Copies of this chain bind each other. A is one copy, B any other.
Amino acid sequence: MATMEQVAKIANVSVATVSRVLNNPNSVSPDTRQRVQDVIKKLNYEPNLLGRSLRKTETNLILVLLHAIDNPFFSKIIRGIENIAHIYNYDVIVANNYGDRQLGEHYVDFLRSRLVDGVILLSSEFTAEELDRLTANYPVVQTIEYNPDSNAPAITIDYYQASCELMEHLISLGKHNIAFLNANDRPIISTDEKFRAYIDTLNKYQLPIITKSTEIATFGYFTAKDKTNELLKNHPTIDAIFACSDMLACGAIDACLANQLKVPEDVAVVGFDNIAYSEIFKPSITTISHNSFNLGLKSMEVMLQLINGEKLTNHHLILPHKLYIRQSTKQ
């Protein structure tokens, strides 16, 4: 591979001039510029980013750390991030940590080892102390999930308010025996907020609390189906289910149907996230949509502020959400 020095030698200029042609072409006379560019093309020269980054102590790389890439709405968030990033000449790379905290720390070390300029966390394994220590030294923003005990910047939606809307919707349909179905494999703030809204709304209307507490379990359609079967056996009076995600709602609905219960007549079901399937599923699923693309845009905007050393006014940015009423609650 050609280096700058080789280009310089053949073009009969110094390396500084080659560097200028690359980074500030106008500071070089047209003919030397042309000569250098010709040699660059001939040698197929490509600047070594490691050398450049080492020198400039910046890489123009943003790392997005997430649980696993198969979560459908991550995709749109990342598009939002990239959209802003590309404008400002940053590249976006993604890494999975599968909820593994050690692996998460390993990737976050990319910051300490100067391989990336900033990290956007769509993952949430870190303790408040870790986050605070990290954000004190490096540009880090949390998106969607966040640690409520940390001051680290976060872009998210109002999960409590959104969940209240779902609960009010169910109650407005005359549903009084509402169960709560969660299946997060670790404690996450969104589930806490959803559950808080569940409890508060039931108390507000003095309705029975069927689900007393959340539990840690694995995500997924089949788990949700099993749990709902159990639920229906233990609480035959259930007439609605608040599922923490659309995929769980799918499982819950299929369990109801398998038990000869009509959805939504006998049991209404709501989900969360508005994934593509929620519109395709039969029945289609009432759910909350966050504007993922905007979440991504905002996250990268805040990231740029951090990189540029600007002081943030709001550490928590709450973006709007939207309720979609579909067949799973209303035919």
Contacts and interface: CB of A to CB of B under 8 A. Distances in A.
Nearest to A250: B280
A70 interface: yes
A89 to B, nearest CB: 11
B280 A48 contact: no
A78 interface: yes
Interface in A75-128: 75, 78-79, 82, 91-96, 98, 106-107, 109-110, 112-115
Residue picked from A63, A68, A106, A254, most chain B C-beta under 10 Å: A68
How many identical chains are in the complex?
Answer: 2
A54 interface: yes
A312 interface: no
Contacts of A59: 50
A79 B97 CA distance: 10
Interface string A48-64: 11110110000100010
A187 interface: no
Contacts of A281: 280
B277 A109 contact: no
A281 B82 CA distance: 32
Contacts of A91: 95, 106-107
Contacts of A112: 1, 46
A63 B280 CA distance: 33
Contact of A114 (B50, B82, B94, B276): B50
A96 B78 contact: yes
Nearest to A66: B69
The 8 closest A-B pairs by CB, nearest first: A70-B75, A46-B112, A49-B113, A94-B94, A69-B69, A93-B93, A50-B54, A49-B115
Given A68-B75, A69-B75, 18 more contacts: A1-B137, A46-B109, A47-B113, A48-B114, A49-B113, A49-B114, A50-B114, A51-B54, A69-B70, A69-B78, A70-B70, A79-B96, A79-B98, A92-B95, A94-B96, A221-B276, A250-B280, A277-B277
Interface of A: 1, 46-51, 53-54, 59, 63, 68-70, 72, 74-75, 78-79, 82, 91-96, 98, 106-107, 109-110, 112-115, 137, 221, 250, 254, 276-277, 280-282
